[in-house]
Structure 1
């Protein structure tokens, strides 16, 4: 690994997805998880797969790609089999790995398309989160300035890892965060308020739906059902 980037995001709740139920991982305070965690816990796919990087100017590049949970981004293998982070991400339109499509957003990293509708796409981001007791509401503050927890480890502007604060052992768990991508491909955290922003002409019907259905915006099945209803209006 040429460069360590250790992003542990704000604590998320235990989600309905089966992948969130397992794979609790203990790491030493301030450790380099790219060395201490097994490969299967650090990447989405079991190996680097053939993929394509589509640039906005029409250029297409083939590469061996995988999604790194530690970085929150797609990585590639170079000719020396070194694992590297992609450059020029802001010039890329999308990335295809197997049947999956990823989009890049500054401050969010790469998100994976889950479902597509006429006015919106649902995307997810798989991360490593601390296994704390904070409620999901805390993650509503997710933004470019609050994405990194005050008790997490990350690389600073000088490229130096910052040590974790608190206990000697940190318990990590795989988590998922969900986003709406609108027609212009602008990104919104999946919340009630942002749902109404994406479907501004159907606020009344959606508010009625949300009153009747207690939608949990961290449950992908409930989000999909809500988007299917919204798209039918």
Structure 2
């Protein structure tokens, strides 16, 4: 319990029994709008912020072999695994470097060195295909005549907006920031080293069968931004 207190922003996570639950929530596709000065985590509905409609019983597995069981969810705004403590507060893990992985329902999430967590979508033994879904800033709406809005690619005048990652943008008070979901696919090797899921990484990881794999990838015309294409590619590589 002392370890848990050091890893989270507030102590007191209650103990629960872990029951695997199937995922029933699809990843986000729509663009969200947050007005200047609004707190995105409070303004945007929970159904758009989290992967699961409700927090699921899950388990945080630490690198030292210990674990903690709590209600968990993945937050698309922060790119983080979050939990509910005994007081009912929704919190992010303070130091994910001490977390080996998190199990939520039937899904597994690994900490990503730069920030947040990635979700495993294909386990190939020598490597894991993972994805990170997170909202990114995708332009600004500036109110024009008759209260209409038009997307613009740059920022004008003075006023500030602090986004979900703590970055401050200068923009007019009447503007609205656009948040668009972005998916990044990454390969994780057995040493927890990450590389972008592309042809170069696959050929490096499966170098023993480089020539065969290269011919296959070219022939299949793999789209490295398509989840099903990537799953097909990594399955082929791992079965050689």
TM-score normalised by length of structure 2: 0.72
Q: Is the 8 A contact 1:30 1:163 kept in 2?
A: no
- From the two aligned structures, give the one with the greater strand fraction: 2
Q: Tell me if 1:53 matches 2:49.
A: no
Corresponding residue SS for 1:204: helix
Higher relative contact order at CA 8 Å, sep ≥6: structure 1 or structure 2?
Answer: 1
For residues 32-71 of structure 1, the aligned pairs below 5 Å read 32-71=39-78
Q: Is the 8 A contact 2:40 2:163 kept in 1?
A: no
1:86–1:108 distance in 2 versus 1, CA, 3 Å: closer
Q: Tell me if 1:163 matches 2:178.
A: no
Q: CA deviation at 1:170?
A: 3.0
Q: CA deviation at 1:62?
A: 0.9
Count matched residues. Answer: 196
1:229–1:45 distance in 2 versus 1, CA, 3 Å: same
Q: Is the 8 A contact 1:128 1:174 kept in 2?
A: yes
Indicate the structure (1 or 2) with the bigger Cα radius of gyration.
2
TM-score normalised by length of structure 1: 0.74
| Gap runs ≥5 in structure 2 | 1-8, 10-25, 140-153, 156-160
Aligned residue among 214, 221, 224 for 2:221: 214
Corresponding residue SS for 1:103: strand
Corresponding position of 2:189: 182
For residues 1-233 of structure 1, the aligned pairs below 5 Å read 19=27, 22-29=29-36, 31-131=38-138, 154=163, 162-163=168-169, 168-233=175-240
Q: CA deviation at 1:55?
A: 1.1
Distance in 1 (alpha carbons) for counterparts of 2:65 and 2:96: 14
RMSD (CA atoms): 2.6
Corresponding residue SS for 1:171: strand
Q: Is the 8 A contact 1:30 1:164 kept in 2?
A: no
Per-residue CA deviation, residues 2-47 of structure 1 (Å, 9 max, x unaligned), is: 8xxxxxxxxxxxxxxx745x43322224532112211111111111
Select between 171-180 and 63-72 the one with higher mean Cα deviation. 171-180
Q: Is the 8 A contact 2:27 2:51 kept in 1?
A: no
Distance in 2 (alpha carbons) for counterparts of 1:99 and 1:210: 30
| Gap runs ≥5 in structure 1 | 3-17, 133-149
